[in-house]
Every structure is written in structure tokens, then in C-alpha cells.
């Protein structure tokens, strides 16, 4: 399957695979890992526009970047057009692509009037798109869901509004806010949006295997796919999708390949955040890297009890080496 190269505004994507913005996940080390496997565009965690314009230290840290992850996408969330426009002006100085979140279903975000809550007021969506477009000259996208609930599917209306206000591309996660992450996303909605507007449309939702990505491309005709939870502990998924699109053979990573990437992930995390945060935050990533290997449940349980990074590295190295030896014996 051949997919033509896509541009977001003036920005060409090397591959049609995008890393979804995910709170608590897509920080700089994670993005660099995923970029190394062939992601065309990586996104920051969601950034509060309010926090950004108030120069909040934690918010500014989310914008930290590295040349090897370029181009970087930054996703802002908020409900006030003026605040989002001010935040966009700050992002413009970083030379990044900008995305406005209009799809997050998390209660804390919804209560603030941001995320999926915006889908209930298309007029606010129009004001936000117009204000941010005026303030931000670079590539500009929005990420949406199909609607608030099944009785109010309005993704086509939102898509037309975005296009009219100068948005360069749209990502659709075809679930409603009410669905959360339950059930299966309706990829047909992506197809309907793609056929309805003239700007690029990216599909998000339930891509766990390379075949899933190929099916989404085939069903929807989308310009690219966005990888979220399917990439947890599995950056090889990115390379596998690229291989599948180019009719190249695929294979599953060996335990020692996983170990090398996990140790590199730890190293980058430690360089950026120090030992304590690395130990706390990397536990979940290491558990994801271990999925599918023999005795992974015992490894995960032991890892949670360790309070020293050196011991965690020793345990991890031993576990993956043992898994490699067991593979060789099969």
C-alpha cells in the first residue's frame, strides 16, 4: 500500500505516522524513542494554555525539546479563545507545530470547558480556531472526537468550521466523549470526514498492530494514522507500520532488542529528570516493555518493590537476558 506524502500547512511529514499527545506519557524521552523508530511527527503532552501564559514552571518544562525529535508538535488545551491565542504566540517562538485539543474526555479537562466540552458549542470552536489562526503563523491542527454522545455527532460540522477558519489538518478519534475509551472506534467516521473536507485528516483509535493501521488507511482513506496506547512499550509498531506500507517484511523484536531500548529510555529519563523521578515514572514503561515475555508478571511485581534505580536496572537486565536465553532454547 502506497501512501502519498502528506503536508500539514508548509510542513511535510517524512512518514504518515503521528505520535498522539498523551498526558503523563509523551514527555521528551518517550518522544525521542518513538521518533527514532520512524514517527513522522511527535506530540508533547497536553499543555494548559492558562499555565503557559502564566509562565508556570511545570508547564514550561513540557515544552522542552531536542533536535532529534524535530518536528515537534505541541498540543494546547483551554476554552478561552484569547488565552489560547496568547499561548499560541508563545509556541510560535519555539517554531513548533501547534494542535488544539478538542477531544479529551477526562473529567478535569471537561469541567474547565476544554477538550470534548468544546464539541457542545461549535460557535466557541469557530472563535478559538479564528483567534489561534490569527496569532499563529505555523502549521495548525485540531484533534476532535465524533461528538459529545451518539445523539450529537457533529464531527462533520466541526471539520467544516475548522477548514473555514484556516486550520491545516484535523485528527479524528472516532469515539464520542461519552464512550471514553470503551468499545471500538468507528473508523467510518474518519472516512466521512475525509470525504467531506479538503484538508488532511488523520485517524486515531485502536491501532495495536500494523494490520490495524493498514485497515484504517483502507477503510478511511486518511492521510495518516495517530498512535496512542498501541505504542506503550512497543515503539517497534512504528517501524512495522512503515514496513507494511512499503511491503517490507516484519518481525517481532527479540528480548535483547527490547532491553537495549529500555535501557536507552532509562538513560535519557535519568539525564533529564534525575534518579527519583526516573525510578517512579519508568516503572510503567518497563512493565510495558516486558509484556508478552515469560515470567513478566513476576518481573512486574518485583519491580514495584524496588526503591533504587541501580537495582531496577539490574533486575531489568537480568529479566530480559533470561528471556533471551529461554527464546534460544525454544
Q: Which residues are catalytic?
A: 104
How far is residue 185's CA from residue 165's CA, in Å, rounded to a whole number?
A: 27
As to burial, measured by CB atoms within 10 angstroms (0-12 exposed, 13-18 middle, 19+ buried), residue 29 is: buried
Of 186, 110, 112, 113, whose CA–CA distance to 155 is shortest?
186
Of 219, 93, 99, whose CA–CA distance to 169 is shortest?
99
Whole-number Cα distances in Å, 268 to 44, 135, 264, 275 = 16, 34, 6, 11
Q: State the alpha helices, DSSP H only, in the chain.
A: 28-36, 49-53, 57-61, 81-93, 107-111, 122-135, 155-164, 187-196, 210-220, 236-245, 255-273, 275-289, 296-305, 309-329
Q: What are phi and psi of 8, to 5 degrees?
A: -105, 100
CB 207 within 8 A of CB 230: yes
Q: State the alpha helices, DSSP H only, in 170-308.
A: 187-196, 210-220, 236-245, 255-273, 275-289, 296-305
Of 83, 47, 84, 73, whose CA–CA distance to 62 is shortest?
47
Cis geometry, peptide bond prior to residue 71 (ω within 30 degrees of 0):
yes
Of 128, 126, 77, whose CA–CA distance to 103 is shortest?
77
Of 228, 312, 215, whose CA–CA distance to 265 is shortest?
312
Amino acid at each position: 500500500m502506497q501512501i502519498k506524502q502528506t503536508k500539514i500547512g508548509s510542513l511535510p511529514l517524512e512518514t504518515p505516522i503521528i505520535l498522539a499527545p498523551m498526558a503523563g506519557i509523551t514527555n521528551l524521552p518517550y518522544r525521542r524513542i518513538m521518533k527514532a523508530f520512524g514517527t513522522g511527527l511527535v506530540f508533547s503532552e497536553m499543555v494548559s494554555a492558562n499555565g503557559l501564559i502564566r509562565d508556570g514552571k511545570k508547564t514550561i518544562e513540557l515544552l522542552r525539546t531536542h533536535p532529534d525529535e524535530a518536528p515537534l508538535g505541541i498540543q494546547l488545551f483551554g476554552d478561552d479563545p484569547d488565552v489560547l491565542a496568547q499561548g499560541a504566540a508563545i509556541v510560535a517562538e519555539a517554531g513548533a507545530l501547534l494542535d488544539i485539543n478538542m477531544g479529551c474526555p477526562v473529567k478535569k479537562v471537561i469541567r474547565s470547558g476544554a477538550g470534548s466540552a468544546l464539541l457542545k458549542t461549535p460557535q466557541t470552536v469557530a472563535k478559538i480556531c479564528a483567534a489561534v489562526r490569527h496569532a499563529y503563523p505555523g502549521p495548525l491542527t485540531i484533534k476532535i472526537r465524533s461528538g459529545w454522545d451518539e445523539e450529537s455527532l457533529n464531527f462533520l460540522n466541526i471539520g467544516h468550521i475548522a477548514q473555514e477558519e484556516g486550520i491545516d489538518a484535523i485528527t479524528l478519534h472516532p469515539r464520542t466523549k461519552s464512550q471514553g475509551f470503551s468499545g471500538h472506534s468507528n473508523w467510518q467516521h474518519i472516512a466521512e470526514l475525509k470525504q467531506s473536507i479538503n484538508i488532511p485528516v488523520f485517524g486515531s483509535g485502536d491501532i495495536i498492530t500494523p494490520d490495524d493501521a493498514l485497515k484504517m488507511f483502507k477503510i478511511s482513506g486518511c492521510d495518516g494514522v495517530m498512535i496512542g496506547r498501541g505504542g506503550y512499550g512497543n515503539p517497534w509498531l512504528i517501524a512495522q507500520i512503515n514496513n507494511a506500507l512499503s511491503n517490507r517484511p516484519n518481525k517481532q523484536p527479540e528480548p535483547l532488542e527490547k532491553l537495549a531500548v529500555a535501557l536507552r529510555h532509562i538513560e535519557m529519563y535519568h539525564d533529564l529528570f534525575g534518579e527519583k523521578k526516573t525510578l517512579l515514572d519508568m516503572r510503567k514503561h518497563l512493565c510495558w516493555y516486558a509484556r508478552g515475555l515469560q515470567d513478566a508478571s513476576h518481573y512486574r511485581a518485583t519491580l514495584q518493590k524496588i526503591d533504587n534505580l541501580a537495582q531496577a536496572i539490574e533486575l531489568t537486565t537480568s529479566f530480559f537476558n533470561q528471556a533471551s536465553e529461554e527464546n534460544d532454547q525454544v
